Amino acid sequence: MKRCYKCKLFKNEKEFYKSKERSDGFSNICKICNRERGKQYRLANKEKEIARHALYLLNNANSIRECQKRYYQLNKEKYYKNNKKWGEKNRERLRELWRKHSNKTETKHKHRINEARRRACKLKATPKWLSKTQLEEIKLIYDTCPIDCHVDHIVPLRGKNVCGLHVPWNLQHLSSHENQKKNNKLIL
């Protein structure tokens, strides 16, 4: 048992931080009082603490970024679940953020550029040896697509490991949700 210098209470040695400077090897202030003293200091010196923290972030930006990347890689599923929960609870807020984001001219230009790339990729992926009936079949697949569905390439045109062709046997109708979930992946 040891007496805290600040609160004057007798506490177990586990309640004190270790200190090599003290003869008994423990600080003379308990952990609770020490934390309280730190809070009071930070409140009294708020500007100084903000400047100290900003300087630390500036000097250690690369190592902090690396730590954040490692943590994210180890906890991807946790991030995914938390984001999904937040999205379900805050649907209106999410829609509002998406509207703000999509209304920016920069985003519109990026979207147009991406769509132009997709059209060019589709043209490149359409073989010249397709017959007229096969080209008409492609048009028919697009025309008969149900309202809540997208025309999906089974083997994606711009996949990571494999790139498919824009041919009738590589097209399918897929619900919009499933198609967005699939993205550019080959799912067998």
Task: Report residue 150 as tokens.
Answer: 């997208």
Over the chain (188 residues), what is each successive 10-residue block's mean pLDDT? 91 91 90 92 92 94 95 93 93 88 74 88 90 93 91 85 88 88 79
pLDDT for 184 equals 78
Provide φ and ψ at 145, rounded to 5°: -65, 125
pLDDT for 186 equals 79
What sign results for the dihedral spanned by CA atoms 127, 130, 134, 135?
A: positive
pLDDT for 110 equals 82
Give CA–CA dist 84/90, Å, rounded: 10
pLDDT for 183 equals 79
Task: Report residue 30 as tokens.
Answer: 């308990």
pLDDT for 105 equals 67
Look up the pTM and report it. 0.45
